[in-house]
A and B are shown apart, each in its own frame.
Chain A
Amino acid sequence: MSALMADAAAKQPVVTLLRAHLACARMEFRAALTYRTAYLSSFAMMLLQIWLLTVVWKALYDGREEVDGLGLTTMTAYATLTTLQYHLVSPWRSSPIDQRVREGKVAVDLLRPVGFPGQMLAGQLGWASAAVPVLLVALPFALLIGAGQAPASTAAGFAYPVALIGALLVNQLLGLLLGMVSFWTLEVSGALMAYRFVAQFFSGALVPLWFMPGPIRAAAEWLPFQATAYTPAAVYLGQVEGVGIAAALGVQLAWIAALGTLASFVWSRARRRVLSQGG
C-alpha cells in the first residue's frame, strides 16, 4: 500500500498524514451510524442469521455425531464465527468509490492532500469499524444462540487476531479494486451483487472449505476469498495447527502483497483516466 500513497507521502510528514487518514475514517464511521434504525436492525438480522445457521447445520447433521470427522459443535462454532466476522470484514458496502464517482465527488477527493486510495481505504475501515461496538454487545448473545467455543489452543488464540487483521486487509484491497472498476463503467451495482455472491461462497462463509467437493475446494484454495473468512475461523477452531497456521498466515500475506501491487497498478491507470476526463 505504501506505493499507493507514495505521491502524497513524499510531500508530508508521517504524523500529518496519519491524522488526515484518521479524519477520513472518523467521518465514515459517523456516516455509518447516521441511519440508526437500519444500523441496529442489521445486527438483529445478524443474530437471526447465526441462529438460523445453527438450525440448518443441526438439521443437516440430523443426529449424526460427525460428518467427515467433524462434529456438529465445531461446525456451528464455525458458522457463528464466520457470521460475526463477516459483519466486520465484509460490511454491505464493499467500497465507497462507486458512490463517489456517481456523485461526481472524486474531483474533490483528488484535491485533498492525501492520496485517493488511502482516503478510500481509511474511509472504508472507518465504515467497517462502526460494526465493532455492536459486535461487542452482540457477542455474548451470538455465543448463546450459536455454539461458542474457546480457541483450540494457545497458539490458535494468539494467531487468530493476526489472521483476522489479514482477512480485513485482503477484503479491503479486493473492495478497493472492485470500487476502482467504476472509473471505467459507471453502473457497477450488477457486478457488485455478483461479486458478493461469489466472494461469500468461496470465502467459506457459507460452507467451510473442508465440506466442499474436490474441484470446488481446489478453486477456493487458489482464490483470495478464503483468506477473508475461512482462514481466521479455521485457525481459531484448530482446523489448521502448528506449521499449518504459519502457512495460512503466509498465504494471507502473499495475497496482501499481490493485491496491493495490483491495486497500485490499477490506480495509476485510473488516475490518468480521471485526470483526462475530469472525473
Chain B
Amino acid sequence: MPVIEVADLVKEFSRPKQQEGAFAGIRTLLTREQTVKRAVDGVNFTVQRGEMVGYLGPNGAGKSTTIKMLTGILVPTSGTVTVAGTTPWRDRSRNARRIGVVFGQRSQLWWDLPLRDSLWLISRLYDVPQARFREKQRQFSEVLDLGPFLDTPVRQLSLGQRMRGDLAAAMLYDPDILYLDEPTVGLDVIAKERIRTFVGELNRTSGTTVILTTHDLDDVEELCDRIILIDHGKVAYDGAVDELKTRYAPHRELVVQTDGLESVEGAEVVRREGGKVWLRFDPVRTPPADLVAAVLAQHRVTDLSIVEPELESVIHRIYADRG
C-alpha cells in the first residue's frame, strides 16, 4: 500500500536578477527582472509502507525542496503530494502527527531546557497518553542511552547526544513516516553506527517508513533497499541499490597477487602495482568461477579477491555521465 505518492511535482523559486558590473548592488535593487529557478522539475515516485528509501542528489539538485514539500513546509508550484491520504501543506496539522522529522543541522528541541522537558512537551503537543509516554521514554532511554544527559539543557549536549535526543523526540508519538535529513552529519563512527542501528531496528519492529537524505552513502548502503537519485530537479534513478550497481557499474574486479600475469581471456588488465594485478570483467559474460579457475590454472597465486564497486563511485559516475 503506497504511503507516499508524488506526481508531477514542480517547485519554482523566483529572485530578482543579480546584476553585474559597475553599481551592481544598486542595479540589482532597482531591477524588475526576475530569474525563475526550477528547483524541482516534474518528480514522480511512490513509497510503500515500511520501505526505507534513500533520497540522494548533489547540493542544489532539489533534494531538500522535495523533502520540504513532503513534510508540508513548502507549497508546490504544481503537481501533487499525498502522504497517508492527505496533502501535507493543506492538512498540515494532521500530517504533522503522522510524521517524524529530524534535521541533522537544526534541532527540534527546546534549546534552553533539559532534554527531559523537551520530550515531555512533545508528548503533550502530540497528545500522547502519559502512561504511553513514560513507557516510550524508558524504551528510548535504553536503546539510545539517553539516561546520562536527560537533565542537561539541550544547548550543552554534544552533537551526537543531541541527535539521539532529536530521534527520540521524533519517534515519541509513533509516526508512520520518519524523515531523516543528514542524520549522521558531523558524527563520529560510533555515534553514526548507533543511529543507524536504531533506525534499522525501528523499521523492522514498528514498520516505520523511512525517507533518508544524506551525503554519507554508508548510511544508505546499510539501511536502504531502494534509492531515488535526483539531479537537476528530475529523478535520475529510482530502484534497488543492487540494480543500480549492475546497471551503471556492471564490471567487477579480480585482484590477484601473482608472478608475471600478462593476460587472461574474458578480462582486461586495468592496473598493476607491485605483484598485484587488477582484472576487470563482466560477471554475466565471464562467470567469476571460470575466471578464477583460468587464472589459477596458469599462475601461482598467493592472494586473490573480488571487488564490488562502491555505491559512491557508481553515483559519481552517473552524475559525471549526465554532466
Indicate if A40 sits at the interface (CB-CB under 8 A). yes
Indicate if B297 sits at the interface (CB-CB under 8 A). no
The distance in angstroms between the C-alpha atoms of A92 and B46, with both chains bound, is: 49
The distance in angstroms between the C-alpha atoms of A165 and B160, with both chains bound, is: 52
The distance in angstroms between the C-alpha atoms of A40 and B25, with both chains bound, is: 13
Which A residues, 122 to 148, have Cβ-Cβ distances below 8 Å to chain B?
Answer: 133
B31 to chain A: closest residue by CB: A36
User: In the complex, which residues of chain A have a beta carbon less than 8 angstroms from the beta carbon of B26?
Assistant: 33, 133
Task: Give the Cβ gap from A51 to chain B, nearest Cβ, in Å.
Answer: 24
Task: Give the Cβ gap from A252 to chain B, nearest Cβ, in Å.
Answer: 31
User: What residues make up the interface of A, taking CB atoms closer than 8 Å to B?
Assistant: 29-30, 33, 36, 39-40, 133
The distance in angstroms between the C-alpha atoms of A33 and B16, with both chains bound, is: 12
Task: Give the Cβ gap from B17 to chain A, nearest Cβ, in Å.
Answer: 12
The distance in angstroms between the C-alpha atoms of A39 and B28, with both chains bound, is: 12
User: In the complex, which residues of chain A have a beta carbon less than 8 angstroms from the beta carbon of B25?
Assistant: 29-30, 33
User: What residues make up the interface of B, taking CB atoms closer than 8 Å to A?
Assistant: 16, 25-26, 28-29
What are the nearest 4 A-B pairs in CB distance? A36-B29, A33-B25, A30-B25, A33-B29
User: In the complex, which residues of chain A have a beta carbon less than 8 angstroms from the beta carbon of B29?
Assistant: 33, 36, 39-40
The distance in angstroms between the C-alpha atoms of A36 and B16, with both chains bound, is: 9
B26 to chain A: closest residue by CB: A133
User: In the complex, which residues of chain A have a beta carbon less than 8 angstroms from the beta carbon of B16?
Assistant: 36
For this complex, 12 residue pairs linking A to B, each with C-beta atoms less than 8 Å apart, are A29-B25, A30-B25, A33-B25, A33-B26, A33-B28, A33-B29, A36-B16, A36-B28, A36-B29, A39-B29, A40-B29, A133-B26
The distance in angstroms between the C-alpha atoms of A130 and B26, with both chains bound, is: 9
The distance in angstroms between the C-alpha atoms of A30 and B20, with both chains bound, is: 12
The distance in angstroms between the C-alpha atoms of A181 and B182, with both chains bound, is: 36
Task: Give the Cβ gap from B256 to chain A, nearest Cβ, in Å.
Answer: 51
Task: Give the Cβ gap from B107 to chain A, nearest Cβ, in Å.
Answer: 15
A39 to chain B: closest residue by CB: B29
Task: Give the Cβ gap from A133 to chain B, nearest Cβ, in Å.
Answer: 6
8 other contacts beyond A36-B16, A39-B29, with CB at 8 A cut-off? A29-B25, A30-B25, A33-B26, A33-B28, A33-B29, A36-B28, A36-B29, A40-B29
User: In the complex, which residues of chain A have a beta carbon less than 8 angstroms from the beta carbon of B28?
Assistant: 33, 36
Task: Give the Cβ gap from A160 to chain B, nearest Cβ, in Å.
Answer: 26
User: In the complex, which residues of chain B have a beta carbon less than 8 angstroms from the beta carbon of A29?
Assistant: 25
A35 to chain B: closest residue by CB: B29
Task: Give the Cβ gap from A29 to chain B, nearest Cβ, in Å.
Answer: 7
A30 to chain B: closest residue by CB: B25
The distance in angstroms between the C-alpha atoms of A248 and B16, with both chains bound, is: 46
The distance in angstroms between the C-alpha atoms of A58 and B26, with both chains bound, is: 36
User: In the complex, which residues of chain B have a beta carbon less than 8 angstroms from the beta carbon of A40?
Assistant: 29
The distance in angstroms between the C-alpha atoms of A40 and B30, with both chains bound, is: 9
A36 to chain B: closest residue by CB: B29
User: In the complex, which residues of chain B have a beta carbon less than 8 angstroms from the beta carbon of A30?
Assistant: 25
The distance in angstroms between the C-alpha atoms of A26 and B25, with both chains bound, is: 10
The distance in angstroms between the C-alpha atoms of A29 and B25, with both chains bound, is: 8
The distance in angstroms between the C-alpha atoms of A40 and B16, with both chains bound, is: 14
Task: Give the Cβ gap from B153 to chain A, nearest Cβ, in Å.
Answer: 14
Task: Give the Cβ gap from A33 to chain B, nearest Cβ, in Å.
Answer: 5
Task: Give the Cβ gap from A102 to chain B, nearest Cβ, in Å.
Answer: 12
A31 to chain B: closest residue by CB: B25
Task: Give the Cβ gap from A38 to chain B, nearest Cβ, in Å.
Answer: 11
The distance in angstroms between the C-alpha atoms of A133 and B25, with both chains bound, is: 11
A133 to chain B: closest residue by CB: B26
The distance in angstroms between the C-alpha atoms of A39 and B29, with both chains bound, is: 9
The distance in angstroms between the C-alpha atoms of A133 and B26, with both chains bound, is: 9
Task: Give the Cβ gap from A237 to chain B, nearest Cβ, in Å.
Answer: 32
The distance in angstroms between the C-alpha atoms of A133 and B28, with both chains bound, is: 14
B16 to chain A: closest residue by CB: A36
The distance in angstroms between the C-alpha atoms of A39 and B25, with both chains bound, is: 12
B23 to chain A: closest residue by CB: A133
The distance in angstroms between the C-alpha atoms of A35 and B155, with both chains bound, is: 31
User: In the complex, which residues of chain B have a beta carbon less than 8 angstroms from the beta carbon of A36?
Assistant: 16, 28-29
Task: Give the Cβ gap from B112 to chain A, nearest Cβ, in Å.
Answer: 11
The distance in angstroms between the C-alpha atoms of A18 and B28, with both chains bound, is: 27
Task: Give the Cβ gap from A215 to chain B, nearest Cβ, in Å.
Answer: 42
Task: Give the Cβ gap from B301 to chain A, nearest Cβ, in Å.
Answer: 55
Task: Give the Cβ gap from A91 to chain B, nearest Cβ, in Å.
Answer: 16
The distance in angstroms between the C-alpha atoms of A39 and B26, with both chains bound, is: 11
Task: Give the Cβ gap from A149 to chain B, nearest Cβ, in Å.
Answer: 30
The distance in angstroms between the C-alpha atoms of A133 and B16, with both chains bound, is: 20
